[in-house]
Amino acid sequence: MKITAYIAKRLFYSIFVLLGLSMFIFTLSRVVPGDPARLALGPLAPQWAVDQLREKLHLNDPLPVQYVIWLMNALRGDLGESIVSKRPVSQDVLTFFPASFELVMFSTIISVPLAILIGALAGRRANSIFDNIVRVFSYVGIAVPTFVWAVLALFLFGYLWKVLPIMGQLSVGIRRPPVRTGMMSIDALLAGRWDAFVDHLKHMILPALCMSVGRIAQEARLLRAGIIENLKKDYIVAAISYGIPERRVMMTYLLKPSLIPMVSIMALDLASSMGGSFIIETIFNWPGFGRYGMWAMLNKDLNAVVASVMIVGIFFALFNILVDVIIAYLDPRIRVMERAS
């Protein structure tokens, strides 16, 4: 099967998954107690105004009808209005999502090479001192919640050793580059603003690092396990016996098959960093989507809640496909099975 056909097939399936998710979250948002119209207008608004708004929002129609109306609007890019920001939710999404996406991507760029390096070395030198240190680090990294790292980072860098900024996206005095993608590093580059780019990168380091600790720990552990398992395989011994240099055997013959389990959890890791980004965004004062979603929940901003969940869902679906494509590239066994089905 051609890779494009494979992607098309996966995209097609994802549509159903996303439809299911939207039905679920939509229903949930409509059956929770509390009248969205009343919430939107506040406790002092007269009843007739509330009734009018209920009519306008189709809240008196049966649920399936409401869902179809919502879906039709959503497909046109209209996700309703936010009762908190008083703006169209789609606008909010465009403002806040890129900022989070940027942070999560930056954390991926940091964590993947580090995880590969740490995991490969630990696996290669299993039970060495280095491996034991990594083991402890992994346990701690997986067990300790993100906010602890964030607080620690604030303490270290905000209080003891002030070399990195701990708040926001840019330092005071640096002009914001014009918004084009919503990802400030890209926007700064597009505008040719080196000062803003570098300053923004510095602002990303701490939140992205805190986001990465758990991922590095998890991914390095999986790679280590893969390496230890594959190191015993005959094909490694065979490659050595043909006189292929040990370095090459380790870097290709061993690494490629060992990466597979690690890559498969990357999609999950990415999605959970996205979903869990509100903690980091709140602590580091990052105007991102996680924080937006959190506010939406707390304020029962239903349109915004539904939209947040759907966007994260789409993000997750797309990354899953990307990861599956990478895995199909790494592992021909999957490609062969895919062709057979």
Partner 1 sequence: MNEQLIEIHDLYVNYKIYEGILKVLNGVEFRVGVKEKVGLIGESGCGKTTTMRSVMRILADNAIVPKGSILYKGRDILKMSEEEIQRIRRESISMIFQDPTAALNPVFTVGDQLMDVIKYSTKENLTKEEMKERAIKVLKEVALPDPERILKNYPIMLSGGMRQRICIAMALVSANELLIADEPGTNLDVTIQDQILRLIGRLVEERGTSIILISHALGTVKGLVDRVYVMYAGNMVEVAPTKELFSEPIHPYTIGLFKTVPKLTGGGIPEAIKGRIPDYINPPQGCRFFPRCEHAMPICKKEKPSLKSVGGGHEVACFLYE
Residue 262 CA, chain-centre distance (Å), reads 16
Query: Are 274 and 104 within 8 A, CB to CB?
Result: yes
User: Is residue 3 involved in binding partner 1 (CB under 8 A)?
Assistant: no
Answer for which of 2, 160, 234, 247 binds partner 1 (CB under 8 A) is 234
The structure tokens listed for 157 are 């860098």
The structure tokens listed for 319 are 């990354």
Answer for which of 51, 145, 336, 338 binds partner 1 (CB under 8 A) is 336
- Cα(101)–Cα(184) distance, integer angstroms: 11
- Cα angle value 154/305/211 (rounded, 5°): 25
Q: Which stretch binds partner 1 (CB under 8 A): 109-117, 143-151, 191-199, 331-339?
A: 331-339
Q: Which is nearer to partner 1, 72 or 337 (CB)?
A: 337
Q: Where are the alpha helices (DSSP H) in the chain?
A: 3-31, 36-41, 47-56, 63-75, 89-124, 129-143, 146-155, 184-190, 194-231, 234-241, 246-248, 255-275, 277-283, 289-298, 302-330, 332-340
Non-local (6+) Cβ contacts of 153 within 8 A are: 166, 206, 209, 210
Q: How many residues bind partner 1 (CB under 8 A)?
A: 24
- Cα(111)–Cα(220) distance, integer angstroms: 9
Answer for which of 44, 241, 247, 341 binds partner 1 (CB under 8 A) is 241
Answer for which of 9, 87, 180, 233 binds partner 1 (CB under 8 A) is 233
Q: Which stretch binds partner 1 (CB under 8 A): 64-72, 267-275, 287-295, 332-340?
A: 332-340
- Cα(325)–Cα(337) distance, integer angstroms: 14
- Closest CB 222 distance from partner 1, rounded Å: 16
User: Is residue 49 involved in binding partner 1 (CB under 8 A)?
Assistant: no
Select from 160, 166, 209, 202 the least CA-distant residue to 185.
202
Query: Are 201 and 188 within 8 A, CB to CB?
Result: no
Query: Are 226 and 123 within 8 A, CB to CB?
Result: yes
Q: Which is nearer to partner 1, 9 or 125 (CB)?
A: 125
Rounded to 5 degrees, what are φ and ψ at 32? -65, 145
- Residue 134: CB atoms within 10 Å: 22
Non-local (6+) Cβ contacts of 249 within 8 A are: 236, 239, 240
User: Is residue 328 involved in binding partner 1 (CB under 8 A)?
Assistant: no
- Closest CB 171 distance from partner 1, rounded Å: 47
Answer for which of 145, 229, 245, 298 binds partner 1 (CB under 8 A) is 245
Q: What part of residues 8-47 is at the interface with partner 1 (CB under 8 A)?
A: none
- Closest CB 233 distance from partner 1, rounded Å: 6
The structure tokens listed for 286 are 């990052």
Q: Which is nearer to partner 1, 91 or 252 (CB)?
A: 252
Q: Which stretch binds partner 1 (CB under 8 A): 4-12, 133-141, 192-200, 227-235?
A: 227-235
Q: What part of residues 114-133 is at the interface with partner 1 (CB under 8 A)?
A: none
Answer for which of 238, 251, 298, 338 binds partner 1 (CB under 8 A) is 238
User: Is residue 341 involved in binding partner 1 (CB under 8 A)?
Assistant: no
Answer for which of 240, 268, 297, 314 binds partner 1 (CB under 8 A) is 240
* Contact string (CB under 8 A) for partner 1, positions 251-290, x = contact: -xx--xx--x------------------------------
For partner 1, the binding residues (CB under 8 A) are: 232-235, 237-245, 248, 252-253, 256-257, 260, 330-333, 336
